[in-house]
Amino acid sequence: QKEVEQNSGPLSVPEGAIASLNCTYSDRGSQSFFWYRQYSGKSPELIMSIYSNGDKEDGRFTAQLNKASQYVSLLIRDSQPSDSATYLCAAFRYNFNKFYFGSGTKLNVKP
Amino acid sequence: GAVVSQHPSWVICKSGTSVKIECRSLDFQATTMFWYRQFPKQSLMLMATSNEGSKATYEQGVEKDKFLINHASLTLSTLTVTSAHPEDSSFYICSARARGLAGEETQYFGPGTRLLVL
């Protein structure tokens, strides 16, 4: 079992819709969680980080964390074609000094 | 957010030569940096964890004598691909661990180095 699991997609949504990306993790000791966006041929770019249960909003992005269910999600409101990319979910375990990445979900936003 | 740079962004070399890639944290100190490799349409693969002032920790299957890592200062880590071969051609990405004012941990990526071995 991988430490972080994501559906590889592709997830297709029309422009202006809400895109919902999900991720589960297996290590209950994970303390911090992240969403990165990676465009084809580029390195990952940090979008959101979340450290406690609940929702965290930043512009069109909302990250949600449920530690009891070991579940992290990212909502993208008013999706734009420029949001089309692969979204990587990551979990950090402090005492292992290690970030665990999911394999990524490819998002396509259709004009 | 914090800025991580990599140099060079592109390198083409002949088989058998060594290539050095630099990773710098520009506006923060990074006691830990990570080196990843990514082949086309595949996931990030962690190669090694680089700790300032100590030896790097390599992931299983990564040859430490082939991929030499040095983390000589709090802002610089280098990866040297020794005796490079065509199968080493890949996208190499470094990242740096940063701690925020509230103690929260985050990882920022450099822009990556694309290596092509002929």
Query: Are B76 and B3 spatial neighbours (Cβ–Cβ below 8 Å)?
Result: no
* Minimum-distance CB partner of A43 among B1, B106, B112: B112
Peptide bond into A81 cis (omega under 30): no
Distance between CA A4 and CA A83 in Å, rounded?
Answer: 22
Residue B101 confidence (pLDDT) above 80: no
**pLDDT tens per residue across span A64-100:** 999 999 999 999 999 999 999 999 999 998 888 888 9
Question: Could you tell me the two tokens for A66?
Answer: 């449920």
Cβ under 8 Å to B: A residues 60-99: 88, 90, 92, 94, 97-99
Nearest Cα residue in chain B from A8? B43
**pLDDT tens per residue across span B35-88:** 999 998 888 999 999 988 888 999 999 999 999 999 888 899 999 999 999 999
C-alpha atoms less than 13 angstroms from C-alpha of B1 in its C-beta half-sphere: 19
